Structure 1
Amino acid sequence: MTENIEKPSFDVGKLDGVEKAAILLLSLSEEDAAQILKHLEPKQVQKVGSAMAQMTDLNQAKISAVHRLFIEQIQNFSTIGFQSEEFIKRALTAALGEEKAANLIDQIVLGGSAKGLDSLKWMDSKQVANIIRNEHPQIQTIVLSYLAPEQSAEILSQFSEKVRLDLTMRIANLEEVQPAALQELNEIMEKQFAGQAGAQTAKMGGLKAAADILNYLDTNIEGQLLDSIRENDEEMAQQIQDLMFVFENLIDVEDRGIQTLLREVEQDILMKALKGADDALKEKIFSNMSKRAAELLRDDLEAMGPVRVSDVEAAQKEILATARRLADAGEIMLGGGGGDDFL
């Protein structure tokens, strides 16, 4: 009698949120996948689409593991009221996490599409910069505060150093916008690219928003901008700096978070980034690797020739972007405030 041998299951924990979404979409029909993708934000479509294109090792074990996880999360909620708004919110949150789900709920529940200010999220950053270039600085400030920090950083990069300084300080000083004013701006945007957008509560801007945008700027622009802010308002510059998460702050991330991060980072990027890190952070990284992997990385770093500062900074920025993505997905916790040095 032949003994049944159970095939080992795939550890779905090895996958990040984007990879899980990519696998789930690839397992659907093209029509169903398209129906889901059309509701995603631009950056989400780009990330998931890229992950789908790079998914070369897709196998049944991996697909089944993702499906099991998806079903388990969905089954945590009541099977009654499938058509209710509350069910949709819970199902989306279970499948995608709170932040991604929040971005989709209004569009899916209300049956709408990206309109008004939301239309800007789907546009190229240069295009948005051109649209708002001749608007009043206060309107530019609201737009940059409304959009995601990564996109706002790209838009801000299109302006002159003087305008970047003015807008960043305005963002830092902004606390809230009256719903009526935001609605009016929505209507202005609607007239420019058609559509309609409802009024939204307008708690936006502030020091944290400015810090988040600076985190995504090119290193040279970031440094110049922060120096300029310091010349105009030293206290504001220090507050923004304290809220920024820089490469050295990774030392404050718990070990499990570092291990999760390391699984997402390519070896050559890690080596370049560590070339400019202090010994304490290097030891933090080494301690969260296997003994053999840590020894190999130490040897590679010692044998590594000189690396341009710009390459080191770019590698550190890439790792920070990955860390923020994992934090947004709830997979790691970023701790600590900004340090005295900037990338």
Structure 2
Amino acid sequence: MAELNNIEDSDLEAGLSPVEQAAIVLLSIGEEQAAAVLRCLERDELMELTQVMSRMSGIKVDTVKSALQSFFDDYRQQSGLHGASRSYLKRSLDLALGSDIANSVLNSIYGDAIRPKMARLQYASPKWLAEFVSSEHVQ
């Protein structure tokens, strides 16, 4: 691992190793968030990464920007993010707004999504609806 004390522009042009980039990202996100990431690592990964982190000092802003840009580029390409689940939103909103307001927000989100479908049922005959539901697989 290259020593990262006072990284020069030539070092930036040559590029940082993935471990050096990870170290910069972890040092940038704060202790609690970094701890959450470190808990997920194998012992040898943890040792290598924390050794690199311990040697870092005097890192130039451009080097940090480059490492963070690389992280976000990789994230965008590999995340496969498909949207938040209801439980994720509930936990996040509970933390941010409290339970009462979170429930109100969720009801407006999910209630609005189902209301138009439910409104169409008012035009279905009760007999047809009963026959349709009776042929459904038991859940």
TM-score, normalised to structure 2, is 0.47
Greater length-normalized contact order (CA 8 Å, ≥ 6 residues apart): 2
The structure with more helix, counted as a fraction of residues = 2
Q: Which structure: larger Rg? A: 2
User: TM-score when scaled to structure 1?
Assistant: 0.20
